[in-house]
Amino acid sequence: MDPWHRRQPGGGGSGVIRYAHGGVHGRRISTRQPAIAYYAPDGSRLSDAAARGFAADIHAVDAVLGEEIARSAPGASYRDVTEVALARQHWDAERTQRAREFLEHRCEEQYGVQIEQLAAHGLDDDAIDGDEVVFPDGYDVLSQHLAHGLDMRLGHAVTRIEWSDRVSIRTAEGDFRADTAVVTLPVGVLRSDSVEFVPALPQVNFEALLRLDMNAFEKVFLRFPSSFWDAGVYAIRQQGPQGGWWHSWYDLTAVHGEPTLLTFAAGDAARCTREWDDARVAESVMAQLRRLYGERTVSPTRIHRTAWQDDPFARGSYAYMKAGATTADHDDLAAPIGRVLHIAGEATWTADPATVAGAMFSGHRAAERILKRRVPIERAWSPDVSSD
C-alpha cells in the first residue's frame, strides 16, 4: 500500500476502464497494488526491499500519529504532532529525516501548504476509498450536466450580498432578489474584499472563515514524445534535499494515450514560480528528472500549468485548516445565516473537504435545507432533475 494518502490524481496501476454514469463520462483508473519508483537522495532507485522498508517506516509513524493528533494542544500544527510521532520511533538522524521530508511533502501535495501552516487535524479527512476517476475533457462536464435545463446567468460577478428576511444580490449586470440564496464563493474570495456582505457574516461563520485559508497549489503537466521513466509504475518519488520542490511525478499516459507526467508546484514552490514562464518551470522540473534518468531523459514537447492563484474567482485551489483550526470549522462556516443564506463549497464539507465530491455534497445539503426535506443525491444525476 502506498504510504502517501490517497488524495492523489492518476490512480495506481495500468488498467483504464471506460464508464458512464448519468450521462457524464470519465476514466476510472484502478488503484489496486499501486507501483511506485522511489529514488534515494543520490539519484539511484531504491531496491524493492528498501522501498518496502521505507513504506513500513511511514506506516510506523502513522500508527502513532493519530494518537498524537488526538491529544494535541489547541493551536498545534501538523509539524508539531509529526515531530512527536517521529521522536517515538528512536531512529537515527538519516532515517528520521527521510520520513520527515515525506510528511512535509504529504502536506504540500495534499493541501498545498508548508507543514508548519497546517493544523494538527488538517489531514483528518485524508483517507479516501475507491478508484480515482479522471475526466479527460475536464471537470466542466460535471457542471454542464448539472446545469442542464436551468436558468444560468454567466458573466455576472457578484459584488454585494444583502440579507435580512430576504436576499438581494448586486452584480455589474443588475440586481437579483430571492427568498433564499446558496453562496458557493471559495474561501479565497470570502476572505477578500471583492464581495461585501450586508450585514456582515454572523460570528460563527466569520470566525470559522478566519481559521481557514486558501492554498497555493498548481498542477504542471509535461507531455513528451516518448516515455523515458520507469515502466509499470504510476508514480515516481525522490528523496533528499533535491526534492524540495519537485519530488513526485504521476504517469498520466493512460488518460490520453500520450506520454505525460504530472507534478505539482505546492506551497512555497507555487508562490515562487508564480511569475515564471513555462520554459523556466519546465527546465526546473526537468533538472530533477535528469538527475534520476540521465541520458534517457527527453525534452517535453508541451507544458501546461494551472494558475488558480491568479483567478480572481478562486484565489487558490482549495482551502486548508490553519494551525488552531478544528474540523468543526467546516460545519460552522456552513451554518445557515438568518434562514436565508446558505454557504456551500468544498471548505464546508467536514467529511471530505478539498474535493469535488465535498463541494457537490455541500450544495446538495444546502438545497435540502432550503426545501426542508431529504432528496436522494442520486437524483441530482437524473435527466428529469429540473422537474423538481
pLDDT in tens, 287-298: 999 999 999 999
Query: 68 and 84 in contact (C-beta within 8 Å)?
Result: yes
Tell me the β-bridge partners of 337: 341
What parts of the chain have a pLDDT lower than 70?
1-34, 126-130, 132, 380-388
Instruction: Report the pLDDT value the prediction gives residue 146, as an integer from 0 to 100.
Output: 84
Instruction: Report the pLDDT value the prediction gives residue 9, as an integer from 0 to 100.
Output: 34
Q: What's the rounded Cα separation, in Å, for the pair 95 and 56?
A: 12
Instruction: Report the pLDDT value the prediction gives residue 136, as an integer from 0 to 100.
Output: 80
Domains of the chain: 16-130+230-303 (3.90.660.10), 153-214+318-387 (3.50.50.60)
For residue 180, give Cα distances in angstroms to 127, 146, 371.
35, 20, 10
Q: Which three cell numbers, joined as nine digits, stand for 373?
A: 426535506
Instruction: Report the pLDDT value the prediction gives residue 356, as an integer from 0 to 100.
Output: 87
pLDDT in tens, 213-230: 999 999 999 999 999 999
Instruction: Report the pLDDT value the prediction gives residue 27, as an integer from 0 to 100.
Output: 46
Q: What's the rounded Cα separation, in Å, for the pair 282 and 209?
A: 36
Count of Cβ atoms closer than 10 Å to residue 205 Cβ: 22
Instruction: Report the pLDDT value the prediction gives residue 145, as an integer from 0 to 100.
Output: 85
For residue 135, give Cα distances in angstroms to 51, 156, 160, 257, 361.
31, 27, 34, 14, 19
Q: Please name the amino acid found at residue 50.
A: A
Q: In what order do the strands lie in the sheet with 16-21?
A: 16-21, 24-29, 132-134
Coil/strand/helix, residue 219: strand
Provide the strand spans (E) within 72-142: 132-134
**What is the reported pTM?**
0.87
The enclosing H or E element of 342 equals strand 341-343
For residue 328, give Cα distances in angstroms to 211, 212, 331, 332.
11, 11, 5, 6
Instruction: Report the pLDDT value the prediction gives residue 2, as an integer from 0 to 100.
Output: 53
Residues contacting residue 229 through CB under 8 Å, at least 6 positions apart: 37, 236, 249, 251, 261, 289, 293
